[in-house]
Chain A
Amino acid sequence: MILHILNRSPGTSLVYRDTLSAMGPEDRLLLIEDGVLGALTSQVRHFQSVEGRLFALREDLASRGLEGRCDETVQVVDVDGFVTLTEEADKTVSWF
């Protein structure tokens, strides 16, 4: 299982499409930095194909004032959870 890390919002970059097309059936996706905008209810439809395997970094949601607006299908993790995700993955791939 690979952990994919995306730091771009689907509203400003199409790199999320490359990310999704590169993901295997067990792979997970963590949204960080401006990528957390993709976790909002209004944006999360872009990530429908990885529902249940989609994570967002709590600190980056909080620093943007978006913690309460994250879609309920997204699993919110703090930076400790980020480390755990890297422990559980065989490797990580960053998309930017």
Chain B
Amino acid sequence: MRYGLLVQGAPYSSQASHSALRFATALIARGHQLECVFFYHDGVYNASRLAAPPQDEPHLVDAWRGLNAGHGTQLQVCIAAALRRGLLDERESARHGKTGHSIEPPFELTGLGQLVDLGNQVDRLVTFAP
């Protein structure tokens, strides 16, 4: 089956990211296809390229990247939720006259329309919220 996940919880604030990641690993191990993880609301903090957790803790951002590298899962970030929280890719950073950027590929800034499309494309869309 084709799956999509919607993550709305910030890392280290709620269990949502960990629950979603554990579910993602399990569904892939069962032979399903994880098309996309969509990060929305405070979930956009999962995409921060500057995240530097202690080395003896799970690195959530790297774990999401690993899903993309190992499984081709798209990592989409709601642009409206991200920009107002200071999460910008290079293009948006330049557009807003900022120094530096906090989002980089494989995470991509997209709109809510992409979430609607995802819901239509996949067999199951599962939400993990704070």
User: CB distance A83 to B32 under 8 Å?
Assistant: yes
Interface residue total, chain B, C-beta cutoff 8 A = 20
User: CB distance B23 to A92 under 8 Å?
Assistant: no
- Complex Cα distance, B126 from A83, in Å, reads 10
Which residues on A sit within 8 Å (CB–CB) of B124? 86-87, 89, 91-92
- Complex Cα distance, B128 from A54, in Å, reads 19
User: CB distance A59 to B15 under 8 Å?
Assistant: no
| Known pairs A32-B19, A79-B23, A82-B23; A94 contacts B129 (CB<8 A) | yes
In chain A between 66 and 96, which residues have their CB closer than 8 angstroms to a CB of chain B?
79-80, 82-83, 86-87, 89, 91-94, 96
Interface residue total, chain A, C-beta cutoff 8 A = 19
For chain B, what secondary structure do more than half of its interface residues adopt (helix, strand, loop), or is it mixed?
Answer: mixed
User: CB distance B30 to A92 under 8 Å?
Assistant: no
How near does chain A come to B37, taking the closest CB pair, in angstroms? 15
Question: Counting chain A CB atoms within 10 Å of each CB, which of B32, B129, B130 scores highest?
Answer: B129
User: CB distance B126 to A5 under 8 Å?
Assistant: yes
